[in-house]
Chains A and B, each alone.
Chain A
Amino acid sequence: MSAPTSDDTTTQPAVTEEYHAGHRRSLAGYLVMPGVLALACLVLYVYVSQQELDSIEARSLNAATLTGALWEHVQLTAVSTVLTLLIAVPLGIVFTRPFTRPIRSYLITLLTLGQAVPTIAVLVLLAVVFLFLGFWAAIVGLVLYAIIPVLLNTMVGLEQVDKAVLEAGRGMGMARFTVLRRLELPLAVPVILAGVRTALVINVGTATLVTYINAGGLGDVIVAGLSTNRVTIQIVGAALTAVLALLIDYLAGIAEDLLRPRGL
């Protein structure tokens, strides 16, 4: 042992220099997915343009109809996800405060049960019992379904924050709300975002069903193909949905990378 000099601090290697690159991908890594998706769209386009389209097929497979359906689909997904966040994150915060501990386990059971009910049942229920149809009915159905993963992830994210960190914060005189805002939420962000990503992907998929309650989206294209027995239309509708889902998942991944606090 040597005397208590400062030498160990200066000879300590700077732990990891590549650290700032962290979990983030390289630029090339970021470009792979968009490239693949663009290629898929191109292949689809070439395939469709080489088909002889009959009048039924031509009614579905034109730029105006397809971009319209796509745009509706994006709106459905975006609005339902934003609403989901606005509801689920605050709920997750409330359900991790000490005063809700007694009811917490009942709540989780209830939510998990809720998740077992298929969305289509919810949509049909809304339409038949409440005569509630269209865009906003679809949003209600989507939100109800997506709340659960976001809520559970918010709760898990907040619970997994190191208790010592919170005690240190409290012990230095941070008010409860400050602890939540400055410590708990930032440290829960990665887990919460993982929940959001799940919700987005669920919503993109489930939004194909809302065509049954007249709410539009890419489901219109698929169902048009099914009801008229046109395989090309079905393929285009399904492929576009898949491309959109992958694209949204990719964008959510980037958001996760950017929003994850540095130092974690």
Chain B
Amino acid sequence: MTSPSVDSTSSDRVMIHLDQLSKRFPGQHDNAVDELTMDVREGEIVVLVGPSGCGKTTTMKMINRIIEPTSGRIVLDGEDVTRTDPDQLRRRIGYVIQQVGLFPHLTVGDNIATVPTLLGWSRDRTRERVDELLSMVNMPPESFRDRYPKQLSGGQQQRIGVARALGGDPAVMLMDEPFGAIDPITRDRLQNEFLRLQSEVRKTIVFVTHDIDEAIKMGDRIAILQEGSRIAQYDTPEQILTHPANEFVASFIGRGASLKRLNLSRVADIELSPWPTVGVDASPEEALQALRATHHSAVLVLDESGRPRRWVGAEDVRHAGGRPLDQVGLPPEPVVEPEVTLSDALNELLTARYSVTIVVNRQGAFQGVVDIDQITDAVRTMRRTAVSRARAGLDENP
């Protein structure tokens, strides 16, 4: 009943260990990053979040030594990489920057092939990898492989940025505001898509953002940083929302924390409600019968593979005048996949005609619906578990 929690997605193996890492830029008084020590476990997404200028980017860039630390150690998968060859190191670490930075003179395919080429993979293997990654980020290889970056929309460019970073199949990914400069709707979609991708590839990810909502949504754990990358709190999103460690964290989360908790749960975590459905080739009588059997005011028409085609109400059936069911009624909106958060689902259903959100699986087949009661239930349960967990915590360390 929580977001993909630490226990389910990551092992206990430490993948990245930062040991008293500091950076002072030449000619500056204070350390931009001051003796930061932290662990990132294998397969988890750790989000670094904090006010502008607190040192998030600097911290992240020290991991692949785009910025060389002034002191301290970086240990990657048990190996001290503080002094190794930076180029070799970087080929093992995926890197996504905020400005995307696609190579404008190379095709999408060649952009993605960058690291495989550097690693000396064969042509065939590289080509296969490029196509695999394009499909992974939902961009059909045949139509996108040979385009140039300028021929893509902003959101598509961001996706290619992610695909390119995954090129050499690195165990670790660094992402600096990867969904930064983009409209909220596309951003949301890319976030969801990325979470789904991550559930397949299970990379160890350090993710930088200054947006606490994004942090809550994306992070298995969140490190809230203060000036000089000092850790104010490093914990799971629920713990941070329910038990902010100090004033700084509390004010950083801001008001509306209980609504933000809806960002912690995904549609997949709750039990979906059923909804009456009929096939496309059902007769009007069958549709009316299905309607009468429930208290709902419309049935959902599904095609042969179970994908929603139409909302059809009793009035629509009566005025169908012989037209098939998938040509009357309303388009089947809104539709979400199980990865989206309850907060997204709530947003959708607030404006929906029948006050529910349709849930489909990856293949687009109908799974059930989410309504407002389920969401209020979820909020209540979350608060209860948070409280009981906090009690348990108090018992353990008095």
Which residue of B has the minimal Cβ distance to A176? B87
Which residue of B has the minimal Cβ distance to A17? B151
Least CB distance from A66 to B in Å reads 43
Interface string of A153-195 (1 = CB under 8 A from B): 0000000001011111111111100100001001100000000
Q: Of B95, B104, B105, B339, which one neighbours A4 at CB under 8 angstroms?
A: B339
Q: Which residues of chain A come closer than 8 Å to B147, judged between CB atoms?
A: 14-15
Contact (A1, B100) CB under 8 Å given A12-B156, A173-B90: no
| B355 close to chain A: CB less than 8 A | no
Q: Which residues of chain A come closer than 8 Å to B165, judged between CB atoms?
A: 172
Contact at B101–A3, with CB atoms within 8 Å? no
Contact at B348–A1, with CB atoms within 8 Å? yes
| A9 close to chain B: CB less than 8 A | yes
Least CB distance from A18 to B in Å reads 11
Q: Of A3, A6, A261, which one neighbours B105 at CB under 8 angstroms?
A: A261
Residues of B273-296 contacting chain A, CB below 8 A: none
| A46 close to chain B: CB less than 8 A | no
Give the complex CA separation of A10 and B148 in angstroms: 16
Least CB distance from B157 to A in Å reads 11
Contact at A186–B90, with CB atoms within 8 Å? no
Contact at A162–B101, with CB atoms within 8 Å? yes
Q: Which residues of chain A come closer than 8 Å to B99, judged between CB atoms?
A: 162, 164
Contact at B115–A165, with CB atoms within 8 Å? no
Contact (A14, B102) CB under 8 Å given A1-B334, A168-B97: no
Give the complex CA separation of A154 and B339 in angstroms: 50
Give the complex CA separation of A170 and B86 in angstroms: 9
Question: Of the 9-residue stretches B3-11, B189-197, B309-317, which lies at the interface with chain A?
Answer: B189-197
Contact (A19, B101) CB under 8 Å given A3-B340, A172-B115, A174-B118: no
Q: Give chain A's interface residue range (CB within 8 Å of chain B).
A: 35 or more
| B335 close to chain A: CB less than 8 A | yes
Give the complex CA separation of A243 and B47 in angstroms: 65
Q: Which residues of chain A come closer than 8 Å to B196, judged between CB atoms?
A: 4
| B77 close to chain A: CB less than 8 A | no
| B66 close to chain A: CB less than 8 A | yes
Least CB distance from B224 to A in Å reads 25
Q: Of B87, B140, B188, which one neighbours A10 at CB under 8 angstroms?
A: B140
Contact (A3, B100) CB under 8 Å given A14-B151, A16-B151: no
Contact at B64–A171, with CB atoms within 8 Å? yes
Contact (A170, B90) CB under 8 Å given A3-B360, A16-B151: yes
Q: Which residues of chain B come closer than 8 Å to A166, judged between CB atoms?
A: 101
Contact at B188–A263, with CB atoms within 8 Å? no
Q: Which residues of chain B come closer than 8 Å to A2, judged between CB atoms?
A: 333-336
Contact at B138–A172, with CB atoms within 8 Å? no
Least CB distance from B148 to A in Å reads 3
| A23 close to chain B: CB less than 8 A | no
Contact (A6, B138) CB under 8 Å given A167-B101, A169-B103: yes
Contact at B360–A12, with CB atoms within 8 Å? no
Highest count of chain B CB atoms <10 Å: which of A8, A173, A264: A173
Q: Which residues of chain B come closer than 8 Å to A3, judged between CB atoms?
A: 335-337, 340, 360
Contact at A172–B97, with CB atoms within 8 Å? no
Contact (A262, B105) CB under 8 Å given A8-B155, A15-B151, A164-B97: yes
Give the complex CA separation of A178 and B185 in angstroms: 37
Q: Which residues of chain B come closer than 8 Å to A4, judged between CB atoms?
A: 189, 192-193, 196, 337, 339-340
| B388 close to chain A: CB less than 8 A | no
Q: Of B90, B118, B156, B336, which one neighbours A9 at CB under 8 angstroms?
A: B156
Contact at B103–A183, with CB atoms within 8 Å? yes
Least CB distance from B304 to A in Å reads 18
Q: Of A1, A162, A170, A173, which one neighbours B189 at CB under 8 angstroms?
A: A1
Least CB distance from A191 to B in Å reads 13
Contact at A14–B88, with CB atoms within 8 Å? no
| A5 close to chain B: CB less than 8 A | yes
Which residue of A has the minimal Cβ distance to B336? A3
| B387 close to chain A: CB less than 8 A | no
Which residue of A has the minimal Cβ distance to B190? A4
Which residue of B has the minimal Cβ distance to A174? B118
| B28 close to chain A: CB less than 8 A | no
| B397 close to chain A: CB less than 8 A | no
Contact at A164–B151, with CB atoms within 8 Å? no
Q: Which residues of chain A come closer than 8 Å to B188, judged between CB atoms?
A: 1
| B53 close to chain A: CB less than 8 A | no
Give the complex CA separation of A153 and B393 in angstroms: 66
Q: Which residues of chain A come closer than 8 Å to B174, judged between CB atoms?
A: 171
Which residue of A has the minimal Cβ distance to B195? A4
Q: Of A19, A165, A187, which one neighbours B151 at CB under 8 angstroms?
A: A19
Give the complex CA separation of A178 and B167 in angstroms: 18
Give the complex CA separation of A6 and B99 in angstroms: 23
Contact at B91–A173, with CB atoms within 8 Å? yes
Contact at A165–B102, with CB atoms within 8 Å? yes
Give the complex CA separation of A173 and B66 in angstroms: 10
Which residue of A has the minimal Cβ distance to B186? A8
Residues of B250-303 contacting chain A, CB below 8 A: none
The 21 sampled A-B contact pairs (Cβ below 8 Å) are A1-B188, A1-B334, A2-B335, A5-B364, A6-B138, A9-B140, A10-B143, A19-B151, A162-B101, A165-B102, A165-B104, A168-B102, A169-B101, A171-B64, A171-B174, A172-B165, A173-B88, A173-B89, A173-B91, A263-B105, A263-B149
List the interface of chain A (C-beta within 8 A of B). Answer: 1-6, 8-10, 12, 14-16, 19, 162, 164-175, 178, 183, 186-187, 261-264
The 10 closest A-B pairs by CB, nearest first: A168-B101, A263-B148, A173-B91, A173-B90, A164-B99, A261-B105, A164-B101, A171-B95, A6-B138, A15-B151
Give me 20 other A-B pairs in contact (C-beta within 8 A), A4-B193, A171-B95, A173-B90 excluded. Answer: A1-B185, A1-B334, A2-B335, A14-B147, A15-B153, A164-B97, A164-B101, A165-B104, A168-B97, A169-B114, A171-B64, A172-B91, A172-B165, A172-B167, A173-B86, A173-B88, A173-B91, A173-B118, A175-B87, A263-B150
